[in-house]
Structure 1
Amino acid sequence: MSLGWYVNRLRNMSPGEVAHRVVEKRRKLSSKGRHESWARFAQQSDDIPRIPELNEVVLQASPAVREALDRTCSALLDGRFSALGVEWPKRPADALFPVEVWRLDPVSGLSWPGADAYCFDIAYRHETRLGDVKYVWEFNRLQFLQPLAAKLALDDDADARRAIEAAIESWHRAHPPFRGLVWNSGIELALRAISLLVVSSICGSHLSPDTIRRIREILAAHAFWLARFPSRFSSANNHLIAEAAGEYLLGVAMPDLAGADTMAAKARKTLETEIEKQIFPDGVPAEQSPTYGAFSIEFALLAALAARNLGEPFGPVFEARLIAFANWLAATSFNGIAPPLCDDDEGRVIAMGEPEPRYPASIANAAMAFFGTPSPVAASEPHLRDAIFGEAAAGEQSAASGLTTFPNGGYSIVNAVRFKLVMDHGPLGYLSIAAHGHADALSVLLSIDGEPVLVDPGTYLYHSGGAWRDWFRSTRAHNTLTIAGADQSIMSGAFNWSHKANALLVEASDTTLHAEHDGYAKRLGATHRRHVRVTEDGLRIEDEVSGKPQPVELVYQFAPGLDILVDGATATVSKDDTPIVVFTLPDAHFDIAIGEDRFDGGWVSPSFGAKVPAPRLSWRGKSDKPIVTEIRLVEQQGSRA
């Protein structure tokens, strides 16, 4: 671990957190040599761990869900697995889970440390040679066993049974407690524990006693680890929700575990508290990311399902937050797809092994189905979670014209007949390190006739991203103004910020938005103010910078598949050779880039690990007067609302 990483992290720690980290470090050192054997977690009981009634609801899966399960399981049983935009090497059907597969990075082709290394001795955050730790973690979440479990329960499929039992035997053999990369992150242990609980709940009666014994040992070791190393203080974001959900479900599904009742009660309280903290009253996730918000809610929903089936439903604030999230998601989405605001690592709780471009919508619909409320969000692809949580009835899905503001989370949406504009005037992120935030204050997103035009660039990569990780979080990558080439907020690590811009909505009406942020105030003596006004044929965006004149860059990042033709001070945007909108700026100081070999060369990340060319319009000038962008929609034959 680099000294710089520690210094930057310490800057964001309170005295209480420093003390907590010291205790945590002592515990990590003391576990070495003491907790590294399966014998330590041997089980007396052979009861099958069960989340109440999960098997029953899966047996009621619809034909569409069954078809999706068949498709997924066919690929898995053929030795094919893909995630995070990468295909793992195909394995023979009769040897799906060799021990070495658990350590493989499918991008680099190299293997990470396994049982030969104590987990906390592996400096994964700054490893550059082996690849991105996320790929190894993803496979070790064991989520590919969930559709196989459903297939086994529904069809008594012998191949699915053999695959599940082989995977669990191999994983158990490869990963003694506290040994290897898979034991060093609480969220990873929580996800894996939940996967195994889902598997044993759905199809446990079809599995051998030896397999159930191994599952119980793995779960007992995970429960011990989660209680010993909780995420607290600046780490208490979606990781804490994941850990609490894991502990609650472990306590419910394995009541014979020592301290299970106490663990479940404490975890339940944490979950209800954290959902109230991490989903604002207006529904915006505190981490500012639709996908991380959905991820957190999926953890909470599975725990809430277990609680309700036990006759102990979660409280009314929990319900209100989840319904509010669905309403926020509906307001910000384009054609049912949430914009990739801030980070997105494609984390799932219930997984099918297929891409899910409408994942947040799936979770919003699951929440509405769970509470028996019609959903304002467009339907998503059939999924195993539809069987688990139910399918929501369709509600009103066309937003009313005018302004909708989410004051807690800091988003305003302007709906007109042909376009939707989303403006960000919220916080950078959550807690002191704002781990998953992007420096995008006052950025705008625009769709025309339901199709995205101005977009967020996305995430691309985490640990292995290096300078690309920084670029996709930077101010210059977003649809806003940069002063003197500096980011509004200052990065101090791949998941840390040393200075955070504060944004403020100053004025809002059905036709006008006025917001500002102070990210440049201390360093450059400047405040960026943005005024957005609806005009007869489109929009007018005026950017104003206080203080002395300075060099500025105004960026508009367009969606992939659009074409830009520049003529003087105007840029005409077309799709399939049909003009759709014209941008006019003060003069012809344009730079248009599409997929060029540089960071600002016009790139968008549609999914984790992928980046594709997309037009980027950059205007450079001085801040000596307001910079006005006129956006005029081109009339279309048969335009739709």
Structure 2
Amino acid sequence: MPAARCLPVLSMAQLSWYWHRLRAMSLAEVVRHAGRFCLRWADAWHQPDWTSVRLGANGGFPWLPDPTQAPPAVRQALQQDAEAILAGRWKAFGHLQLHVHNPPRWQRDYLAGRDVSTTAPAARLSPRALPAGTDIKLIWELSRWYPLVRLAMASYLLGHRTAAHTCVAWLQDWAARNPPFRGWNWTSALEAGLRLIQLSWIDALLSHSHGERDGSGAHGDDAVLSQLRQAILPPHVWFTWRHRSFGSSANNHLLGELAGLIVALSRWPDLAHWAAPLAHVQALWEQEVVAQFAADGGNCEQALNYHLFAWELCWQARAALAAAGRAVSTEVDERLRRAAQFYLQVQVPTDPWDYGDSDTGWVTPLFADDARAVAEWYDWLAGAQASSALAYWWGPTQKRLGLRWPQPPNPPGGWQVLSPSGYGLWREGRWTLRYDFSPLGYLSTAAHGHADALHMSLWLDGMAIVVDPGTGCYLAELGLRTWLASAAAHNGPYSPALATPRRLGPFLWSGHPAPPAIQQVDRRQLRARDARPEAERIRTVQVSADGAVVEVQDVCRLTARHAGPASWTVRWQFAPDTALEQLGPHRFGVQRQGKTLVVEMSPAWTEVCAVSDPAQARTIEPDKPYAGWVSPGFRQTVWAPYLKLVWHGESGGAGAQAGCGGPCALTTRFIALEAA
């Protein structure tokens, strides 16, 4: 087995990141991190006797549906997935095709083609010190065991013996090649928590497969599965509890760690010996639900993919607590209901482009098609029958809990303002608009937030036209990651004079600005004012009375702190496969998949440039190598056209409003045309 570097060698940029990360912590948090580092070293060399507590009977969660009632589409999807997985054709993040060995090489980045397998203590390993181009997310993705869950599901529904045997064999191989607290798969407590959830499902599915029901065990693997429970569960519970997130790191990671513990402890109560009583873990989880989901239901990380991810974690924990006979507070149930409603309000399932960070992650693959996971979750939350897979797998749980999720919002019309999360939603006629005036992110790091204040995303007849640029990756290509999260890549008015927020590296911001103030002028007009020490930006978005036109007016000024000429840029980034046609100096035709509109700019703009291909972008903006690149999915990038609008002026600002000192307002109008 090739050995990875045991002692991480960090570059100056990485050392700088660690310095700034320390500065984002309180003294108490720094001390606690130092203590945890010592614990991680101790765990690698001095482990408890994991066999000292034998696991007793399994609990009720997860409640499984009747296999004879599975919809044909669910069976067909499982048959196809099982054959692909057994043939080594895996998918990462729902879209990346990987060819995986049998058994998989659990510490290999299959996209980069690099194996970094090691049994070095995890305390010595830093995911930020992996070889260039290698991504810890690709390594962790294998060990979230999604394909193993699908194999167990195929065993349960289809009686697929090869799927069952292979699932158990791969778990055996994983346990042998990833000894407790050594290697890359033991560098994250969240990943351990997710494996606890997956193993709970795998155990339930294999224990109730056709072989078990006819008395022969899980296709003859029951004894091996029992040994695997004893080998895998205690160290995972110990590690997840002992190294759970805290302080400025207590975001969705902590929710995932606590959810994993709740699911495991509800199924195997004896595991509390290696962690804490279920009641104590539940109390911590309930605190985090209320802390991480705002009063309007929005997730405080300001990242829509993480909203669904965190909600699913909480839903599984909620169901597991019910299976263990434990009541959940009314406040927590109401917060989760509002979070489901919030997702229905802000997501556009026909063509999703999420705000904030997105690693295209989910908890357990209970949908039929991972490429359509967002749409399936949306349909299930909305009560639609189209999501037959989620309705099938979660049916027994919903029935036992007596829960019904909110129907899709049907507002009376006009702008909806979601506060305190900070979003304006328009869903009337042909337009869907999502206007962002949210805080930067959660806690002192705002780890998964983007500098997207005043950004507006636009859909026409459910098709994305103006998009959020996405995430790209986390650590594999930092330049791309930094650009896609920046204010310059979004369409809020941007000036180089904007000093905040400041990006200090992955998952780390400083200088969090106050969120913009909102004024709902009338049902068709919404205004946000972003006032900072160095600048003021006011954006008003208005929909015409006939519903055909969306007008965006930007009024911007720099304060007296700024010396020199003012310059403001608005970058209208379109979705991939959009075509631009110049109709006049300040007028362009826009077409995408049969949808047509015209974009008009006011004459006050100094420069108006339609950028239609990467070569043109490199010529126009040689200092911005990632201009035009967007990311519809994690580790997926594609170039797309954009309109770059620039206003140059004297010191001061642009805008007609009092105190702005400029000649006129800067407007952009989007005019919907009927299809030819």
* Equivalent residues of 2:75, 2:158 under 8 A apart: no
Counting only pairs closer than 5 Å after superposition, residues 248-259 of structure 1 correspond to structure 2 as 248-259=262-273
Could you tell me whether the CA contact under 8 Å between 2:591 and 2:597 is conserved in 1?
yes
> Contact (CA 8 Å) 1:514, 1:529: kept in 2 or not?
yes
Deviates more, 1:160-169 or 1:82-91: 82-91
Q: Of residues 137, 147, 150 in structure 1, which corresponds to 2:150?
A: 147
Query: Residues 415 and 211 (structure 1 numbering): CA distance in 2 closer, same or farther, change over 3 Å?
Result: closer
Q: Which of 18, 25, 42 matches 2:37?
A: 25
> Structure 2: how far apart are the matches of 1:107 and 1:148?
23
1:100-124 residue CA offsets vs partner (Å, 9 max, x unmatched): x111111221111322x11121121
Match for residue 524 of structure 2 among 499, 511, 515: 511
SS in 2 for 1:41: coil
1:334 Cα offset (Å) = 2.7
SS in 1 for 2:49: helix
The 5-angstrom pairing of residues 319-358 of structure 1 reads: 319-351=333-365, 356-358=370-372
* Pair 1:607–1:112, CA change in 2 (3 A): same
Structure 2 counterpart of 1:241: 255
Within 2, Cα distance between the matches of 1:479 and 1:526?
16
Instruction: Kindly indicate whether the alpha-carbon contact (under 8 Å) linking 1:482 and 1:488 is maintained by their aligned counterparts in 2.
Output: no
Does the C-alpha gap of structure 1 residues 529 and 555 become closer, same or farther in structure 2, counting only changes over 3 Å?
Answer: same
Paired with 1:110 and 1:16, the residues of 2 have a C-alpha distance of 38
Measure how far apart 1:550 and its partner are. 1.3
Do 2:266 and 2:324's aligned partners in 1 also have CA atoms closer than 8 Å? no
Is this contact kept in 1: 2:630–2:637, CA < 8 A? yes
Question: What is the rounded CA distance, in whole Å, between the counterparts of 1:330 and 1:502 in structure 2?
Answer: 26
How many angstroms does 1:155 deviate by? Answer: 3.0
| CA displacement, residues 454-479 of structure 1 (integer Å, 9 cap, x when unaligned) | 11111110111210010110111112
Match of residue 40, structure 1, among 37, 49, 64? 49
Q: Greater CA deviation, 483-492 or 156-165?
A: 483-492
- Aligned AA for 1:109? G
**Alignment partner, residue 13 of structure 1:** 25
Q: Does the 8 Å CA contact 2:308/2:343 hold for their aligned counterparts?
A: no
Larger displacement relative to structure 2 (288-297 or 395-404): 395-404
Confirm or deny: 8 A CA contact 1:334 1:450 kept in the other structure. yes
Determine the structure 2 residue equivalent to 1:297.
311
1:584 aligns with 2:601: yes
TM-score if structure 1 supplies the norm length? 0.90
Letter in 2 for 1:603: W
Report Cα offsets for 1:570-629 as digits up to 9, x if no partner: 222123576323232334612333451653431221111111121111111236322422
Distance in 1, Cα, partners of 2:488 & 2:516: 20
Q: 1:298 & 1:352 partners in 2: Cα distance?
A: 11
Structure 2 partner of 1:210: 224
* Cα distance in structure 2, aligned partners of 1:135 and 1:164: 20
Kindly state the Cα deviation for residue 418 of structure 1 after the two structures are TM-superposed. 2.1
The match for 1:372 is none
Match in the other structure for 1:283: 297
Aligned equivalents of 1:333, 1:340: Cα separation in 2:
8
- The DSSP-based 3-state class of the residue aligned with 1:55 is coil
1:575 aligns with 2:604: no
CA distance in 2, matches of 1:237, 1:393: 25
CA distance in 1, matches of 2:62, 2:506: 41
Cα deviation code 1:417-476 (max 9, x no counterpart): 221221111101111101000000010011122221111111110111210010110111
In terms of mean alpha carbon deviation, does 536-545 or 489-498 score higher?
536-545
Task: State how far apart, in whole Å, the 2-side matches of 1:619 and 1:379 are.
Answer: 44
Contact 2:146 2:365 in 1 (8 A): yes
Q: Deviations over 1:545-591 (max 9, x none)?
A: 23355111111111122211222012221235763232323346123
Distance 1:578 1:188, change over 3 A: closer
The 5 Å alignment of 1:206-605 reads: 206=218, 207-259=221-273, 262-351=276-365, 356-363=370-377, 366=380, 368=381, 375=382, 382-383=388-389, 386-389=392-395, 395-396=407-408, 399-484=411-496, 486=498, 488-508=500-520, 509-518=522-531, 521-522=532-533, 525-536=534-545, 537-546=548-557, 547=559, 550-566=566-582, 567-576=584-593, 579-586=596-603, 587=605, 589-596=607-614, 599-605=625-631
174-183 vs 269-278, which moves further = 269-278
Matches within 5 A, 1:66-105: 66-84=75-93, 85-91=95-101, 96-97=102-103, 101-105=105-109
Structure 1 Cα separation of the partners of residues 194 and 612 of structure 2 = 38
Distance 2:60 2:202 in 1: 10
Task: Please provide the CA RMSD for this pair.
Answer: 2.6
Q: Deviations over 1:300-334 (max 9, x none)?
A: 11121122233324222222222222322222233
- Contact persistence 1:400–1:415 (CA under 8 A): no
Matched, 1:62 2:78: no
1:617 paired with 2:643, answer yes
Residue 200 of structure 2 aligns with an amino acid whose one-letter code is L
Moved more, 627-636 or 192-201: 627-636
Please give the per-residue CA displacement for 1:145-180, whole angstroms capped at 9, x wherever unaligned: 112112212233210121111101110110111110
Letter in 2 for 1:528: R
The one-letter code of the counterpart of 1:480 is G
Is the contact made by 1:250 and 1:260 (CA closer than 8 Å) also made in structure 2?
no
Percent sequence identity is 27
Which of 117, 126, 146 in structure 2 is aligned with 1:123?
A: 126
| Residues 51 and 198 in structure 1, CA contact (< 8 A), matched pair in contact too | no
Please report the TM-score for the alignment, with normalisation by the length of structure 2: 0.85
Q: Distance in 1 between matches of 2:499 and 2:471?
A: 17
Unmatched tracts of structure 1, length 5 or more: 369-374
Whole-angstrom CA distance in 1 between matches of 2:590 and 2:272: 64
Deviation at 1:395, TM superposition (A): 3.7
Q: State the partner residue of 1:371.
A: none
Change (3 A) 1:234 1:90: closer
Which region of structure 1 is more displaced relative to structure 2, 621-630 or 10-19?
621-630
The letter of the residue matching 1:414 is W
Cα distance in structure 2, aligned partners of 1:479 and 1:294: 25
| Distance (Å, rounded) in 2 between the aligned partners of 1:595 and 1:385 | 43
**Partners of 1:343 and 1:470 in 2: how far apart?**
11
Deviation string for 1:205-227 (max 9, x for gaps)? 51331232123221100111112
Equivalent residues of 2:77, 2:368 under 8 A apart = no
Contact 1:289 1:343 in 2 (8 A): yes
- Say whether residues 1:193 and 2:196 are aligned partners: yes
Q: Deviations over 1:249-288 (max 9, x none)?
A: 2211112235379432122112222111111121211111
Q: Distance in 2 between matches of 1:429 and 1:161?
A: 42
| Contact 2:53 2:270 survives alignment (8 Å) | no
Q: Which amino acid aligns with 1:574?
A: Q
Measure the CA separation in 1 of the matches of 2:458 and 2:138: 33
CA–CA distance in structure 2, aligned partners of residues 257 and 275 of structure 1: 23
CA-CA distance at 1:33 after TM superposition: 1.5
Per the alignment, residue 666 of structure 2 pairs with 628
